[in-house]
Structure 1
């Protein structure tokens, strides 16, 4: 199964950045120029750009274009907690709405983050996560397909961590990066926000107890409904 066109474009732009075609802080060509260069619609090109923005590789400046992201100060977060467990700990009822659920070839970023072999497939799912039926975040989660191929869709989408733990697998630590951004039109619609509202973006790689990365998640939280608490 081949990668979707927008993932192929994502991979090419990421390769260009890594090969220094564009440097940190550079403004990349407009969506119109890139869509013409790749021979695709602006909608497809925009999807590729948004994926790179969600991964922190690119950043949008309102009214000024899209730029190669600058490095930011990072803070370690020490506790791995699933959305389900976190929500229940607050006395709320968690739920999810699955937007997409596909088995496909991974992007370059997914290969790097999950340390995959070239021939491995991944399960990529997009979900809106709720607490007491209020939308809290939009999440794109990628896991190696071999790890979850024996589980049904509900076991994976409702609480992946609990499913894995019920099979004797131990969840280890995670690597997390939190930054801020503005809600795109799509995210605003999903989370019942206004376009341009504040979003907290979390990028997380979660490891099993033996140190094997098994999950790469890009999550966008409604800034007025969620906050991170760090304790040292």
Structure 2
């Protein structure tokens, strides 16, 4: 490729790399040429190459791993999972329009489910609000949610359109109840008949199960949720740092970033 006058060099390089990705010359998860290789190929500085790569990263066409290089994404969205997001925010940048199909919204007796009582901090109560939804991207099922809420919060969102908006949005924008943090547990699961039907997959298909408790001010639980992701639609990428063996500090090192990547199987 010959660079042209009148067009910023970094843009010409990013456009060329984008074309390589879009035509399949650079495949999903394939490593890009190094900054040094690109610098020599186009006879430009590494600063120019870095600007080109930053453009592609901003457009979510590539992801970069420190010390390893840059790689083509397997679908063009990378959202930081180190920030607490709702489903709509997770899909931002994916090119998919988020929506939900409400399956049920009801009050249920959970007096015999001690784990739920504990998660919701309502050990002295018996009833919670249970919400079940299929989570969609461009109308296609990506995940299935089962959410339990203390009666107080559940009654606040009753009557709102949970197919077009999220629980976070309703609580934060309508009632000034901020969602401040979440606690996650990720595990493998299998689709039973019910999940298979709603997710449009075969029974016993492996799923990724995300358990989450979301908290508002004062560490009050707003809900406990089990979200079953189709793993042919979404995977997670984790960026972490190794503890310095010479460090005398006992402080735990948090992971740097965990990213949900939505796959395009079309």
What range is the shorter-chain TM-score in? 0.5 to 0.7
Q: Residue 90 of structure 2 corresponds to which residue in structure 1?
A: 86
Rate the CA distance shift 1:150–1:202 in 2: closer, same or farther, 3 A: closer
Query: Residues 229 and 215 of structure 1: is their aligned pair in 2 closer, same or farther, counting only changes over 3 Å?
Result: farther
2:29 aligned residue = none
Higher percent of residues as helix: 1
**Larger CA deviation: 184-193 vs 104-113:** 104-113
Matched residue SS, 1:84: helix
Q: 1:210 to 1:78 in 2, by over 3 A?
A: farther
Alpha-carbon distance in structure 1 between the residues aligned to 2:195 and 2:153:
29
Is 1:164 the equivalent of 2:155? no
How many residues are aligned here? 156
Kept in 1: contact 2:108–2:130 (CA 8 A): yes
For the Cα contact (< 8 Å) 2:157–2:167, is it kept in 1? no
Computing the radius of gyration over CA atoms, which structure comes out larger, 1 or 2?
Answer: 2
Distance 1:155 1:133, change over 3 A: closer
Q: Does the 8 Å contact 2:104/2:133 carry over to 1?
A: yes
Alignment check: 8 A CA contact 2:100 2:162 kept: no
SS in 1 for 2:91: helix
Q: 1:155 deviation in Å?
A: 4.4
Where does residue 180 of structure 1 map in the other structure? 188
2:200 equivalent to 1:192: yes
Counterpart-to-counterpart distance in 1, 2:159 and 2:224: 18
Gapped runs of 5+ residues in structure 1? 1-76
State the SS of the aligned residue for 1:112.
helix
User: What is the aligned counterpart of 1:129 among 117, 129, 135?
Assistant: 135
- Partner Cα separation in structure 2 for residue 91 and residue 179 of structure 1: 27
Cα pair distance change 1:114/1:192, threshold 3 Å: same
Q: Is the 8 A contact 2:191 2:205 kept in 1?
A: yes
Is 2:143–2:228's contact at 8 Å kept on the other side of the alignment? yes
Bigger shift: 206-215 or 132-141?
206-215
